[in-house]
Every structure is written in C-alpha cells, then in structure tokens.
C-alpha cells in the first residue's frame, strides 16, 4: 500500500511541475486543438479552384463546349492563350493545367479518327495534379460523347456494377487525417514529456535525492508515467470531443469507453518509451536526437499516412514492433467500424506487451545509468 501512496504523491509533484510550465501547457493546448485541425484539413480531398488555360486552335463548337464545361468550384474560369505562351505560363506558375485542342479537332471527331488532346500539368502539387487530370479527362470524354451521340444517352452493359462504400460513404479523407493527427500528437508529446521529466530531474540533481529516499526505480518511473499520461489523456479526450467530433464532424461509431481504454494503454507504452530514452540519453541534446530517430518512424510507419500493405515489403515486418501501428489499427477499427473488444483485443495485447518490454528495460537501466554517470 505504501508503494502506491508514494507513486501517487510523486505523480502529483510531477503534475504540478508540468502544469506550472506555461510553455508546456501552451504546447499541449496548441497541439491538441489547432495542430490537429490543421493536419486534418491540410490535405485537399478534391480539386478546388485550379487555374486552367486552353489553347484553342480549332475554334469549333466542340472546343467551346469543352471550355464551357470547365467551371468553378473545381476550376477557375479558363483563360484562352496561344501555343507560344504555354511554356512561359507554366514556368511562371500561372496555370496548373493547360489544354491544347489541335486544329480540325471537331472534324476528326466527326470522321471517327480519334484525335488527341494535349494536357500540360504542373505536378508540383501532386495530389491536385493527379485528381485534376482525372477530372479533365472525364469532362472531355463526356463532352465528346455528347457531341458524337447528340444526346446524353449512355451505353447499356449486360453487367451493372453497384459500388457501396462501407464506414466512410463519402470518402472523406479528413476523417482519417484527424485520427492520424491525434496519434501523432499522443506519440510525440507523451514521449517528450516523460523523457524530459526524467532528464530534468537528472540535470537539476534531484534524481539523486529521490534515489537515497526509500523509493524504488519502479515508483519513480511509474509516477512519471501516470502523471504525464493523465495530462495527455485529458487533452486527448477534450480534443476528441471538441475538435474531431464537433469541428471536423467525424463520427465515432464505436464505444468511446473502449477508445479511451485503448488510448490509456497506448499512453502507458509511449510513456515507457520516453522513460527508456530518458535513461539512455545523458543530456537534452542527446534526447532530442533520439526523439528524431524514434518518433518519425513511429509516425510514418503507423499506417496512418499510407497503409501497411503499401509500404516496402522489407519494412512491413518491422512495423510489428511499433506500438503506433497497433494503436492506429485499434483506433480506426473502433472509430470507423464500430469494433468491440472481441475484435481489437489482439491490438491491445500487442500494445500492452510492447509497453511492458520498454518499461521493464527502463527499470533495468535506471539505476545503472545513474551509477555510470557518477
């Protein structure tokens, strides 16, 4: 019983230390509010007001109908330019797309010669360029088919494909961006806070005071884990309700209690990693370098930015040792698919196992690292 009382009071000391630092409090508030919102909405899901120009060398009814079909909000009003202006206009970033309609285009269409259109694309904005190219091809094909058939009738096929999207009917990418942003904030801030807390004690010389008291490494480490984890859990809960559900309008299909429980387990794992890095590093500078080596792979390989199956085959087995991968699979299953504990227990078990390994390793290195430093 005395062990848990010591852990409680050491944790409250850590809470007062963190909450009294206005810079840290501001960083947490910004990270779980503004930064989550910006990350979720930064990637555009569709072409919006893309600049476009047309080189019309045909001056026919068909070329004019193609130009008239390109309208806001997907594209800006098309500008007519000459073929000699294309290179300079693209170099000066005036247009993202330039469509060149060759001479006798309508005549060749009438005679079924299958003429070609040229589309010049500024692919510096990769997503917009790819989507815009698809939009333009679809629009041009639609206008040409309408011109040839003199109607909007479409061909009938013996097989009709009916597509139904499960869990995200509108294909809103912002939903996944919000969950990925929350994972990034949890991972980064939890590891930073717990590792920095240990190094702060060491640099101020208070860690030796704790070690000569009737305290164990387990009590010192666990107090920092629960205190910093509690701060991040409260910030996560508020961000989930206010930013994700209210502002971004992301529906939470599954159990919120299960989501918070799984997040608590992941916070323990992330905090254990922070303690582990704090025992390895001797200074804040070393700790910062270790953070870049650990946090960036955890974010990139979690499956939030790209599916695990799309990553290089040599990397995929490595991701099994990243708790962020298992938490991302857990969070997406609960939030989007409404999964219950009978489905996500393997992910929770993997997160718990990895967290236990890091925590035990931290305890093994804790006193040894202090003795080595002396």
Q: Each residue of 279-336: pLDDT tens digit? A: 888 788 888 888 888 888 888 888 877 788 888 889 889 899 999 999 999 998 998 8
125 and 246 inside one domain: no
Domain ends where: 115, 149, 183? 149
The two three-digit tokens of residue 158, written as one number: 């013996």
**Residue 311 covered by a domain:** yes
Q: What is the pLDDT of residues 206-221, one digit of tens each?
A: 666 666 666 777 888 8
Q: Centre a 10 Å sphere on the Cβ of residue 45 and count the other Cβ atoms it contains.
A: 14
Domain ends where: 149, 164, 192? 149
**Residue 269 covered by a domain:** yes
The two three-digit tokens of residue 251, written as one number: 């529906």
Of 219, 220, 166, which is closest to residue 198 (Cα–Cα)?
A: 220
CA distances (Å), 214 to each of 14, 92, 168, 266, 367, in order?
18, 70, 54, 30, 14
**Residue 113 covered by a domain:** yes
DSSP state of 157: -
142 and 108 inside one domain: yes
Q: What is the pLDDT of residues 83-118, one digit of tens each?
A: 889 888 888 888 999 999 999 999 988 888 888 889
**C-alpha torsion 350→352→354→357, nearest 10:** -140
62 and 39 inside one domain: no
357 and 270 inside one domain: yes
- Asked whether residue 151 carries a pLDDT value surpassing 80, the answer given is no
User: What is residue 350's predicted lDDT score, i.e. its pLDDT?
Assistant: 94
- Tell me how far apart the alpha carbons of residues 131 and 138 are, in angstroms, rounded to a whole number: 11
- Asked whether residue 373 carries a pLDDT value surpassing 60, the answer given is no
- Tell me how far apart the alpha carbons of residues 177 and 171 are, in angstroms, rounded to a whole number: 12
Domain of residue 294 covers 2-43+172-373
Residue corresponding to tokens 């390989």: 301
The answer to whether the CB of 146 falls within 8 A of the CB of 226 is no
User: What is residue 374's predicted lDDT score, i.e. its pLDDT?
Assistant: 47
- Asked whether residue 12 carries a pLDDT value surpassing 90, the answer given is no
β-sheet with 97-101: strand ranges across: 79-80, 52-56, 97-101, 118-121
184 and 313 inside one domain: yes
**Residue 273 covered by a domain:** yes
User: What is residue 97's predicted lDDT score, i.e. its pLDDT?
Assistant: 93
**Residue 155 covered by a domain:** no
122 and 27 inside one domain: no
Query: Domain containing 109 — which CATH number?
Result: 3.40.1710.10
**Residue 163 covered by a domain:** no
Most confident of 12-21, 77-86, 163-172, 176-185: 77-86
SS3 1: coil
For the chain, give percent helix, strand, coil, nearest 5.
65, 5, 30
User: What is residue 239's predicted lDDT score, i.e. its pLDDT?
Assistant: 92
Q: What is the mean pLDDT of residues 226-248?
A: 90
211 and 131 inside one domain: no
243 and 368 inside one domain: yes
- Asked whether residue 36 carries a pLDDT value surpassing 80, the answer given is yes
The two three-digit tokens of residue 237, written as one number: 């809960």
Most confident of 13-22, 114-123, 130-139, 351-360: 351-360
57 and 80 inside one domain: yes
DSSP state of 171: -
The two three-digit tokens of residue 114, written as one number: 């299958």
137 and 198 inside one domain: no
The answer to whether the CB of 300 falls within 8 A of the CB of 321 is no
- Asked whether residue 371 carries a pLDDT value surpassing 60, the answer given is no
The two three-digit tokens of residue 30, written as one number: 């910004």
- Tell me how far apart the alpha carbons of residues 340 and 36 are, in angstroms, rounded to a whole number: 26
Q: What is the mean pLDDT of residues 121-143?
A: 85
97 and 187 inside one domain: no
Domain ends where: 116, 149, 182? 149
**pTM of structure:** 0.77
Residue 79: beta bridge partners? 53
User: What is residue 153's predicted lDDT score, i.e. its pLDDT?
Assistant: 56
**C-alpha torsion 71→74→79→80, nearest 10:** -70
Residue 101: beta bridge partners? 56
Computed over every residue of the chain, the mean pLDDT equals 85
The answer to whether the CB of 274 falls within 8 A of the CB of 14 is no
**Residue 364 covered by a domain:** yes
- Tell me how far apart the alpha carbons of residues 374 and 176 are, in angstroms, rounded to a whole number: 48
66 and 121 inside one domain: yes
**Residue 154 covered by a domain:** no
How far does the chain reach from its first CA to its final CA, in angstroms? 32
The total domain count for the chain is: 2
């Amino acid at each position: 019983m005395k062990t848990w009382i010591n852990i409680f009071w050491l944790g409250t000391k850590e809470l007062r230390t963190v909450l009294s630092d206005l810079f840290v409090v501001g960083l947490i508030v910004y990270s779980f509010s503004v930064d989550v919102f910006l990350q979720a909405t930064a990637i555009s899901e569709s072409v919006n007001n893309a600049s476009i120009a047309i080189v019309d060398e045909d001056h026919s009814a068909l070329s004019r109908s193609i130009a008239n079909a390109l309208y806001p909000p997907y594209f800006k009003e098309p500008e007519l330019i000459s073929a000699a202006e294309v290179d300079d206009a693209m170099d000066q970033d005036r247009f993202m797309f330039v469509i060149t309609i060759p001479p006798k285009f309508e005549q060749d269409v009438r005679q079924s010669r299958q003429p070609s259109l040229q589309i010049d694309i500024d692919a510096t904005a990769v997503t917009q360029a790819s989507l815009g190219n698809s939009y333009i091809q679809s629009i041009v094909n639609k206008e040409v088919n309408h011109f040839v058939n003199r109607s909007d009738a479409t061909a009938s096929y013996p097989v009709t494909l009916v597509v139904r999207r499960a869990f995200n009917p509108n294909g809103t990418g912002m939903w996944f961006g919000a969950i990925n942003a929350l994972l990034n904030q949890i991972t980064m801030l939890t590891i930073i806070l717990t590792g920095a807390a240990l190094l702060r004690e060491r640099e101020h010389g208070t860690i030796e005071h704790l070690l000569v008291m009737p305290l164990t490494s387990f009590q010192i480490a666990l107090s920092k884990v629960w205190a910093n984890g509690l701060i991040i859990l409260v910030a996560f809960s508020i961000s989930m309700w206010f930013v994700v559900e209210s502002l971004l309008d992301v529906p939470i299909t599954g159990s919120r209690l299960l989501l918070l429980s799984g997040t608590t387990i992941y916070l323990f794992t992330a905090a254990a990693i922070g303690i582990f890095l704090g025992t390895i590093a001797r200074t804040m500078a070393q700790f910062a370098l270790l953070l870049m080596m650990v946090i960036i792979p955890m974010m990139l390989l979690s499956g939030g930015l790209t599916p695990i199956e799309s990553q290089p085959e040599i990397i995929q087995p490595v991701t099994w040792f990243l708790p962020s991968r298992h938490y991302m699979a857990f969070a997406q299953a609960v939030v989007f698919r409404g999964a219950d504990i009978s489905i996500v227990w393997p992910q929770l078990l993997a997160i718990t196992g990895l967290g236990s390994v890091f925590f035990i390793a931290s305890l093994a290195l804790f006193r040894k690292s202090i003795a080595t430093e002396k």
